[in-house]
Amino acid sequence: MFTPVPLVARLTSGVDEVKALILRQRELVTQEAASSEGATRKPEARVKTVDNKGNISLGFTVSLDVEEVVYDDVDEKDKTPERRMLEESHKNLISVFAVKEEGDEADSSNAIMDGWDLKKIGPDGIEINLKFNDPINISVGDEPDLLLIQLDMSDFKDVNGETLPSSLVKYTRIPRQMSSKEEAEKVEDQGSTASGSAQNAVVSNVVVNVLMAGSLTLVWDLIEGLQVAYHLPLFNVKSPGSVNAFNNFFNQLASFDFLDTEEPNNDLFYIPELEPISLNFQNAGFGDTLLLTNLGFVFYVFLAHIVAIPLVLILILVSKKSRIVKKVSNKASGYLFWNGSIRFLMEGYLDFCLFAMMNAVAMDWSEQFLIVTICNYVTILMLSIIIGFPVFACFFFLYHITLWDDDKFQEKYGELWAGVHLGKKDAKWALIILPMIFFLRRLGLAYVLVFH
């Protein structure tokens, strides 16, 4: 399974056989991790990102004793003979092939790639850059082109003396590429400018409205519109590499992913290597189906809301004995019950629907890994909330239709109609349709993205 066979020799048996070998290697590594969970983890290598400019990042799950060397910070003509020799020795540890698949036939001659450069190697991973012969025609067929990478790094150990398996082979789908370096630079400049402007607009509006005690309705509308636009490339259609690269600049703002949770997640749990829903999902950064890895920081915020409910109820019970506790409980309950929770649900609703459905599609109850089981239960809870809340809210607010003009009622539930005029008594019953449409559109969009 891990015999030292050159990748070019493996390809003589066909790409399908190589893919089958990779999946068997992954299964063995996963089984070994499952049998030793809680003990010392063995290092693994995983493809982290593949972008639209030919850049590939591989990460090690455990740091190895590899000296960090950055090769793309020096022009080729300025490299010393010693540096060239070191780079060549590092490149000999890695074999890279890009293969084009069309139906049952595959071309393993590496004709779609003119070579590759090693950008960086270090204890945490490897970065390389692919040189395609015709970047604009990458992954234009019915099936995306594949990148095959073989690592022979079993001589490098981690702090526990463990090593990567010898002749470890990885594969990933290659997204559509941009046509040239000049196009990539333009997209980089325009994307960073546009995303920076959007973030500045949101932050400045938040600051101004907080200082002036104004409404944040325009901010929420901007973010909600951006969320829908950001998820459109997930449809199962081919879009140019420049469009995908530009869209990725808005990830942080659209998904509220302000803190990188990858490292703490890996420290807390063993996260098995899983397949993405499709190439478009992979290209958007959703490399697997686990709720934790896709929601990121928002996953923990969601759990914090769930855990906070019993804690706040306890504070309310004991608040009579302390003025400070009562003040804290009033602030916390004022947010949690219910305007703050309603706003949190509305802003995260599309992602909650999308990632919960993704997790549900690939739900695994083998209980091999704790994090998979946790994600399964949180997925069930999340699906119950995102489906049950609109139905409950519809009946609840219709039942209390006479209270809609009451200030206390608005303080508790008014976020559902933020920015909507509630003055016409004969039209109040129709106002419940607005938030219902909001939820149903996002629920329908998530369903179509995952299941079609």
pLDDT digits (tens, 9 = 90+) for 415-447: 888 766 655 555 666 678 888 999 999 999 999
Q: Residue 208 pLDDT > 70, yes or no? A: yes
What was the pLDDT predicted at 424? 54
What pLDDT is attached to residue 196? 86
What is each CA distance from 287 to 58, 102, 351, in whole angstroms? Answer: 13, 23, 15
What is the DSSP-derived secondary structure letter of residue 163?
A: B
Cis ω before 429 (30° cut-off from 0): no
Single-letter amino acid code for the residue at 119 = K
Q: How many CB atoms lie within 10 A of CB 36?
A: 12
First to last CA, the chain: 36
Q: Assign 30 to helix, strand or coil.
A: helix
DSSP code for 157: B
The pLDDT value recorded for residue 213 is 58
Model confidence at 209: pLDDT above 60: yes
In this prediction, residue 96 carries a pLDDT of: 92
Cis peptide before 338 (omega within 30 of 0): yes
Q: Record the tokens describing residue 334, joined without a space.
A: 């004022």
**If you average pLDDT over each of 144-158, 273-287, 350-364, 386-400, which comes out highest?**
350-364
- pLDDT tens per residue across span 271-324: 999 999 999 999 888 999 999 999 999 999 999 999 999 999 888 888 877 888
pLDDT reported for residue 352: 96
pLDDT exceeds cutoff 50 at 159? yes
Over residues 211-253, the pLDDT tens digits come to: 665 677 878 888 888 898 889 889 988 888 888 888 888 887 7
C-alpha–C-alpha distance, residues 197 and 191, integer Å: 10
pLDDT tens-digit readout, 163-193: 998 889 999 999 999 988 899 889 989 988 9
Of 132 and 14, the one with more pLDDT: 132
DSSP of 218-280, one letter per residue? HHHHHHHHHHHHHHGGGSSS---HHHHHHHGGGHHHHHT--S--HHHHHHH--------S-HH
Contacts of 403-406 spanning 24+ positions with Cβ under 8 A: 404/428, 404/431
Give me the residues paired with residue 118 across strands: 128
376-393 core/surface letters (b: 16 or more CB in 10 A; e: else): bebbeebbebbeebbeeb
Is the model's pLDDT at 53 over the cut of 90?
yes
pLDDT at 378: 96
Q: What's the CA angle centered on 31, arms 28 and 37, to 5 degrees?
A: 135
Q: Rounded to the nearest 10 degrees, how much is the dihedral formed by the CA atoms of 326, 332, 333, 339? A: 150
Q: Where in the chain is the domain with CATH 2.60.40.1220?
A: 7-177
pLDDT for 59 equals 94
pLDDT cut 90: percent of the chain above it = 40
Contact 80, 52 (CB under 8 A): no
β-strand partners of 98: 147
Q: Which residues of 164-184 are buried (b: 16+ CB within 10 A; e: fewer)?
A: bbebbbbbbbbbbbbeeeebb
In this predicted model, what pLDDT tens digit does every residue of 319-369 receive, in sequence order? 877 888 888 888 888 888 889 999 999 999 999 999 999 999 999 898 789
The pLDDT of residue 1: 64
- Measure Cα distances from 38 to 21, 27, 41, 267, 328 in Å: 28, 19, 8, 11, 39
pLDDT at 105: 46
CATH class of the domain whose range is 7-177: mainly beta
Per-residue confidence (pLDDT) for residue 39, from 0 to 100: 59
Structure tokens that stand for 307 in this block: 């855990």
Between 33 and 50, whose confidence is greater?
A: 50
pLDDT tens digits, 81-124: 888 899 999 999 999 988 876 544 444 445 688 889 999 999 99
Mean of the per-residue pLDDT values for the chain?
Answer: 86
Q: For the chain, give me the number of helices (H) and strands (E)?
A: 17, 9
DSSP label at 77?
G
Taking the C-alpha atoms of residue 153 and residue 124, their distance in angstroms, rounded to an integer, is 13
